[in-house]
Structure 1
């Protein structure tokens, strides 16, 4: 039986019983205790609870329905009216700020529920549960359950060329958690500041700073991070995205790879390789392997399930050199009790059975067609704009004609219900990068991407002539 414990009446009150019930229900709705859609007791049940006549409750409910506080749903009883729901929370940008709801959301990093392998994950989790004994249901090992670490060592070696062993892998609760652990471990190895890519993910820079280490921005060009500038920075650790730099999309060139490894060895430093979208190489030429392969003694390789599956799993890993692994273990003992074990075991099953390989093969085909549709639409609707960087990952960088007013274009696009972010959002204050847009294409079908770029083209064409930039010649 449904109860409404917060409603009380008094026969000593000067107000009628019906009025007391109405006032009490309105108050509970106003306070948020009774949420929109909450089912209320039947008139008979509430009358029994309050020890009043049923006609009193029927009259109170009727008046509340007439005033719009309640609604009677056939076969579903009386509920708090749905229109009383608070205004929907304005969706937030990934880093900061808020934006209105739009028709075409081209931000990066969004989750696509339809892409999650629900049936396969449920099957893997069921196997993990069925096989879980006393050890599996106890506190997990600090560095992660061994079946997952073994599968990760096999998988990462096979698909990304990572040279590691299960003992050197630590399972973490996503990249942010792993980065926080690293920022506590690196000072124990003499690291006092961390260099970061500029442009890059401002949010990650803040993570490092909040963990107690200052950051030093290092420029990125068409070959990736400028290693000469890195050497001048005085940092002994650097956070990089060599596979598909965010946000420029460039892949670290072979020359820069060699220079970066040489810098790490000469400076007794460490490279933190964030391989955040390394599962999605969409070009026909062979994909580059992990930077870690060239220097396992100097590179900490970091990956997660966020792009391949979903961020909600909060599952990631660090493959570290022995000295870093030891420092991480020490930090972990001081911080927490490890990462949830059943999710680890389910993911290990996905790896073991080859299910993840099949899932990623489907996703790559889907994203490749969307990336191609984006490129064709840009060529057609945004004259003088170039799609730069490698065809990889889940975002593309659109380099606008020189001198385009990037901020004004972003605002005009929003007026046309297209939400897109400009490249200036990802650089350190004071720098003025070439005008560009950073487009996430994973969350929209190809037809919607074409429509969105068409609206972007109209927004660009509607800019004052002097703020449209100078279109490049064909």
Structure 2
């Protein structure tokens, strides 16, 4: 059984999202030198632009699991060099660098609502039905373990209101008119800085496109590629049914490429005729596996040989027991259409995401975005930009990690207690776990039985085109530990009755 082993201290056990820093890379006794060099390099390459606010020394030390004195010493050296300045409560800001560069850096490998009962079976069996998620969402349930749902009760309402008021106080009347379909300049700048700090991507704000979530990014990419003659986009298997539906909606065939415990099987991708593939390398949906270093290099080489990668940076921020993983786009930007969103960090209803495509696709994608909706609403974009630039979003992320870790641990414990023969996948990160059973289990029957007893989840078979072990995909972010324990106990009872 794959058992989670969270650290007792409650800290992340392997580095910080900020610049993908991992203290394990530092030589013995050289932490301060290592941290200073990494920060100095990030400033000189443009990953940390002038005016960027650095994390507080206490915060960065806690994220890295190192002494605060090491961070303070590093900041002091950079201050003496003139790279950063301290402004009291205004924080520590990047002041400038020598040899500053803004070029991209190619990093090295590092219908009617169904009712409980008979319609529960319908809700769980119709994986080929485009309304499947709407039907399941409308079904009543005592505990909803639907994967991909963040803790909506944790939405930072007060911080959002403060940011919105601040934006409105300074907003010119002209800003209420039609804007750039690619997004407001303020949000594109904020996202570029966010990606540089947290995902290792050096992006020019002008290269970014603000979209209505990753779902729209997938649809826009499919339209542009279809116009260029592409008829199929390979997908991970198992892999997101929702993403597959979006691709198929625009006429794409979706040949499955199997995923194992090291990620996408690139050798199978090479043997296929596909020249485009969509992947979730930082946290595969639904198994939670991270694409390992060797497979990353193989996939990058496949793309360099003429392939194109659509990278859904799914759940990249939500990690608990493993180091951060750099985005593929940081390694080969001219062959990766990168997509991310705020849906799992704040709320899906905001419908704000971003695309970072290779230059040759940018104008066509913006054109499609213009025809789709003339661009996202400006006020939410500007409010989000304010949250990102003020550091409020990173504070919210740290709060969510602590909260999610407790809920993840409660689910792992409940599975060990009530479903001891199940195998757990993806416990180190994300907002969900996947569990698999032996081949005697019919996961659609199990999910239907659980729904009939008030527990909502996804059968793993929904997300598989190829034969795969039966299982369930269980979201935990939006539920309390007590609810999670009750739900797993109910699923265990349903499993016993179905055998």
Distance (Å, rounded) in 2 between the aligned partners of 1:211 and 1:460: 38
Report what 1:177 is aligned to.
Answer: 216
Q: Which moved more, 1:194-203 or 1:251-260?
A: 194-203
Structure 2 residue aligned with 1:150:
189
Partner Cα distance (1:253, 1:294) in 2: 14
Normalised to the residue count of structure 2, the TM-score between the two structures is 0.71
Match of residue 418 from structure 1: 455
Matched, 1:354 2:391: yes
2:175 counterpart SS class: coil
The two structures, once aligned, show a CA RMSD in angstroms of 2.2
User: Is 1:297 equivalent to 2:321 in the alignment?
Assistant: no
How far, CA to CA, are the matches of 1:336 and 1:388 in structure 2? 38
Q: Which of these residues, 330, 344, 357, is aligned with residue 307 of structure 1? A: 344
Write the distance in 2 (CA, Å) between the matches of 1:292 and 1:178.
Answer: 15
**Aligned match of 1:276 in 290, 308, 314?**
314
Deviation at 1:230, TM superposition (A): 1.4
Q: For 2:174 and 2:209, how far apart are their aligned partners in 1?
A: 19
Which structure 2 segments of 5+ residues have no match?
1-111, 117-122, 124-130
Q: What does the per-residue CA deviation read over 1:261-296, in whole Å, with 9 as the maximum and x for residues that have no partner?
A: 111111x2211111132110111x312121211111
Aligned partner of 1:7 in structure 2 is none
Give the corresponding residue for 2:258: 219
CA offset at residue 189 of structure 1? 5.0
Structure 1 residue 353: deviation in Å? 0.3
SS state at 1:370 partner: helix
1:409 and 2:446 matched: yes
Cα 1:128–1:389 shift into 2, 3 Å: same
Counterpart contact for 1:176–1:207, Cα < 8 Å: yes
Pairing 1:382–2:419 present: yes
Aligned length: 374
User: C-alpha deviations, 1:48-104, integer Å up to 9, x for none?
Assistant: xxxxxxxxxxxxxxxxxxxxxxxxxxxxxxxxxxxxxxx988697863544742222
Deviations 1:360-419 (A, max 9, x none): 111111111111111111111112112113521111101223433333332332343222
- Contact 1:144 1:341 (8 Å CA) reproduced: yes
TM-score (norm 1): 0.74
Alignment of 1:103-114 (within 5 A): 103-110=142-149, 112-114=151-153
Mapped partners of 1:94, 1:392: distance in 2: 26
Whether the 8 Å CA contact 2:150–2:346 is kept in 1: the answer is: no
Please state whether the residue corresponding to 1:287 is helix, strand or coil.
Answer: coil
1:199-234 deviation per Cα after TM superposition (whole angstroms, max 9, x unaligned): 212222121122233322222221111111212222
Q: Helix, strand or coil: the match of 1:462? A: helix
Does the CA contact (< 8 Å) of 2:450 and 2:494 recur in 1? yes
- Cα gap change, 1:407 to 1:88, in 2 (>3 Å): closer
Does 1:451 pair with 2:486?
yes
Helix, strand or coil for the counterpart of 2:333? Answer: coil
Distance 1:405 1:88 in 2: 24
By how many angstroms is 1:333 displaced?
A: 4.5
Q: 1:124 aligns to what?
A: 163
Unaligned runs of 5+ in 1: 1-86, 465-474
Q: Is the 8 A contact 2:179 2:375 kept in 1?
A: yes
SS of the aligned residue for 2:216 comes to helix
> Separation in 2 of the partners of 1:131 and 1:90?
49
Does the alignment pair 1:329 with 2:369? no
**Higher RCO, 1 or 2 (CA under 8 Å, sep at least 6)?**
2
**Does 2:206 match 1:167?**
yes
